[in-house]
């Protein structure tokens, strides 16, 4: 079964569990105060809006790959991983001043009907609530206490790591950086999310210790490859393809890998990275051409491919079930091969 069919199948299971959780939260929130009920309505809409539940499905697949089954306990853990991921997204959207997420308003815009300050502040607290809900999902999963503690510690550690990387990503808007420093940052960004999602499934399934080490490194490699791909998409995909204007990150002053490399090779690019305004269509074309002609796009794609190939090699060495290995490998290959859409 291809990774897309697995995502559809397992994603629906996770969504059912999340809906039950949000039904209870909305009821409890409304009893406390009507606006808190509204907040949970907005959080639910944000979490349930589109998406493939990739991280949470990775948890289910890793667990099944070692246990041979899917049970209520791991579904609850996977729901926690999905809430964990959205806690990160809510805060990321605030910092990046995003207006849209998966075709709808970002949470701070949804909650900002009575003013921007209310929206920003409420979304900030909502992101904290989502992280707390992720931990609650793990603690109430039904696994034995040592397993619960290990997964809670995992999510706590990786959440801290993601936030550290986001601070560096923000810092890079205000300083020059290089490939080595970017790699340090990226080692704790999507890398931490993928590590957490895979490990949250492998740990309760009692995966062998040597496999745990392989999966940790594979998660890191998958995350870095995914980060590079996602950043390239932001720069080169059309609005029809991606739902956002191309070069959105660059117009905010952000420095993805291909921009870091291009800046070292062509001084012209620096004039477009001000973080103050959207780029015109002509400026977008010029930025894309600079990145291509400098060789930065090809180098970023090559680095991503190297991480993807190593992740595939690591996954193939594990004792995970063959069908579950194929899920991860097919997804890794999709990330790698999708880079060829952008030349």
CATH of the domain at 55: 1.10.600.10
Task: Give me the residue label for tokens 């060829």.
Answer: 340
Beta-bridge partners for 101: 104
What's the predicted TM-score (pTM) here?
0.95
Q: How many CA atoms lie within 13 A of 89 on its CB side?
A: 20
**Domain-embedded: residue 313:** no
**Domain-embedded: residue 128:** yes
**Domain-embedded: residue 289:** no
Report the alpha-carbon distance of residue 137 to residue 76 in Å, rounded: 6
The pLDDT value recorded for residue 276 is: 64
Give the domain extent around 56. 1-147
**Domain-embedded: residue 119:** yes
**Domain-embedded: residue 112:** yes
The pLDDT value recorded for residue 153 is: 98
The pLDDT value recorded for residue 195 is: 98
The pLDDT value recorded for residue 273 is: 86
**Domain-embedded: residue 129:** yes
Q: What number of other Cβ atoms are within 10 A of residue 280's Cβ?
A: 10
The pLDDT value recorded for residue 165 is: 97
Can you give the pLDDT of all 343 residues of the chain as single tens digits?
578 888 899 999 999 999 999 999 999 999 999 999 999 999 999 999 977 899 999 999 999 999 999 999 999 999 999 999 999 999 999 998 888 888 899 999 999 988 899 999 999 999 999 999 999 999 999 999 999 999 999 999 999 999 999 999 999 999 999 999 999 999 999 999 999 999 999 999 999 999 999 999 999 999 999 999 999 999 998 877 777 788 988 988 999 999 999 999 999 999 888 766 788 899 999 999 999 999 999 999 999 999 999 999 999 999 999 999 999 999 999 988 888 777 7
The pLDDT value recorded for residue 4 is: 87
The single-letter DSSP state of residue 325 is H
Instruction: With CA atoms as reference, report the closest residue to 96 among 272, 233, 248.
Output: 248
**Domain-embedded: residue 3:** yes
**Domain-embedded: residue 55:** yes
Say how many residues make up the chain. 343
DSSP, collapsed to helix, strand or coil, labels residue 245 as coil
Domains: count for the chain: 1
Distance of CA 301 to CAs 7, 185, 304, 312, Å? 25, 18, 5, 16
Report the alpha-carbon distance of residue 11 to residue 17 in Å, rounded: 10
């Amino acid at each position: 079964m291809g990774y897309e069919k697995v995502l559809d199948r397992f994603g629906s299971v996770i969504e059912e569990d999340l809906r039950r959780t949000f039904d209870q939260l909305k009821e409890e929130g409304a009893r406390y105060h009507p606006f808190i009920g509204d907040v949970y309505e907005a959080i639910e809409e944000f979490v349930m809006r589109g998406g493939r539940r990739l991280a949470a499905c990775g948890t289910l697949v890793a667990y099944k790959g070692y246990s041979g089954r899917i049970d209520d306990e791991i579904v609850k853990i996977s729901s926690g991983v999905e809430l964990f991921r959205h806690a990160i997204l809510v805060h990321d959207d605030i910092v990046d001043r995003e207006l849209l997420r998966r075709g709808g308003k970002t949470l701070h815009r949804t909650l900002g009907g009575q003013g921007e300050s209310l929206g920003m502040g409420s979304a900030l607290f909502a992101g904290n609530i989502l992280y707390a809900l992720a931990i609650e999902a793990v603690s109430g999963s039904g696994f034995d206490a040592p397993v619960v503690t290990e997964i809670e510690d995992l999510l706590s550690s990786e959440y801290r790591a993601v936030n550290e990387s986001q601070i560096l990503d923000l810092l890079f808007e205000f300083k020059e950086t290089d490939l080595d420093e970017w790699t340090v940052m990226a080692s704790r960004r999507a890398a931490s999310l993928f590590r957490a999602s895979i490990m949250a499934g492998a740990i309760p399934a009692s995966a062998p210790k040597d496999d745990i080490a392989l999966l940790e490194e594979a998660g890191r490699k998958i995350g870095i490859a995914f980060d590079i791909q996602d950043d390239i998409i932001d720069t080169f995909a059309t609005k029809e393809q991606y739902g956002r204007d191309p070069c959105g990150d660059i117009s905010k002053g952000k420095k993805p890998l291909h921009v870091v490399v291009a800046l070292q090779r062509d001084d012209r690019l620096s004039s477009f990275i001000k973080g103050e305004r959207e780029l015109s269509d002509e400026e977008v074309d010029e930025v894309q051409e600079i990145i291509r002609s400098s060789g930065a796009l090809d180098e970023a794609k090559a680095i991503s491919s190297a991480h993807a190939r190593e992740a595939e090699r690591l996954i193939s060495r594990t004792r995970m079930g063959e069908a579950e290995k194929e899920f991860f490998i097919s997804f890794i290959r999709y990330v790698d091969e999708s880079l060829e859409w952008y030349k």
